[in-house]
Amino acid sequence: MDSQATAGLVTAARQAATAVPVSRQQQRRRYTMLVCMSTATTTIIFEPIPPGDLDKIRTAGVDEAGNLLTPQVDAEGGSPLRCCLRVTRPGEQVLLMAFTPPGTAGPYAERGPVFVHADPCPGYQSPTVYPPEFRHRPQVLRAYNHQGRIADGVIAEDGDHAMAVIRELLTRPDVALVHLRNVGYGCYNCAARLVPQP
Ligand SMILES: [Zn+2]
């Protein structure tokens, strides 16, 4: 055995001799940490258009395509709002603007029309819950992969069906996020993603 290896053994022996014995409490804490790590779970969140992005767009008065934004009254109501993920009340002021949904790239980065409140609103306050006012609406669930390409597309009858499909799609390793879109026109409503549970 060379002198370097001997020195290493001596150091290790000294460390062992001076190591503080691990108490039962410490052992339990270590075990609890391991259990927490191994059972760490994820949750699905529903994302509106980020409020910060909307603030900039409203302030600029033009959308990403350069269209001038003009507040208009939604007389009948019932239009999906992408700022707070509910439908408009009759008479609310809205903006109709062009928007490219997140998670898309290259030829898959489609720009489309969306309604948002004309004035700042509280946004979507319960991101872990399927938007309640969208539950009765059929949706196209379009999954995108990590390169921003379409990975799948499924039509869901209602919110319950949509949740089951979204859960399945988001378990696939190639799926980064899922768009919820209107059936027929295909307009983007919001995105669903898997995030670590806080
Ligand atoms: Zn809103």
Centre of ligand 1 from the C-alpha of residue 83, in Å: 4
* Residue, of 135 and 27, whose pLDDT is higher: 135
Residues, CB within 5 angstroms of ligand 1 (ion): 81, 83-84, 117, 121
Q: pLDDT digit string (tens) for 103-124?
A: 999 999 999 999 999 999 999 9
Ligand 1 center to 121 CA (angstroms): 5
Confidence of residue 198 (pLDDT cuts 50, 70, 90): confident
Confidence of residue 3 (pLDDT cuts 50, 70, 90): very low
Residue 23, pLDDT score: 53
Indicate the domain borders of the chain.
42-196
**Banded pLDDT at 46 (limits 50, 70, 90):** very high
In this prediction the pTM is: 0.79
What is the pLDDT averaged over residues 45-63? 97
131 vs 80: CA distance, rounded Å: 10
How much distance in Å is there from the Cα of 40 to the middle of ligand 1?
A: 33
pLDDT at 176 over 80: yes
Distance 189 CA to ligand 1 centre (A): 12
**Ligand 1: distance of its center to the CA of 141 in Å?**
22
Residue 93 has a pLDDT of: 98
Alpha-carbon distance of 147 to 142, in angstroms, equals 14
Q: State in Å: Cα 66 to ligand 1 middle.
A: 21
Cα separations (Å) of 54 from 36, 45, 89, 105? 38, 19, 20, 21
For residue 151, pLDDT over 90 is answered with yes
Indicate left, alpha or beta for 75 from its phi (over 0: left) and psi (-120 to 50: alpha).
alpha
Q: What is the distance in A from the centroid of ligand 1 to the CA of 48? A: 9
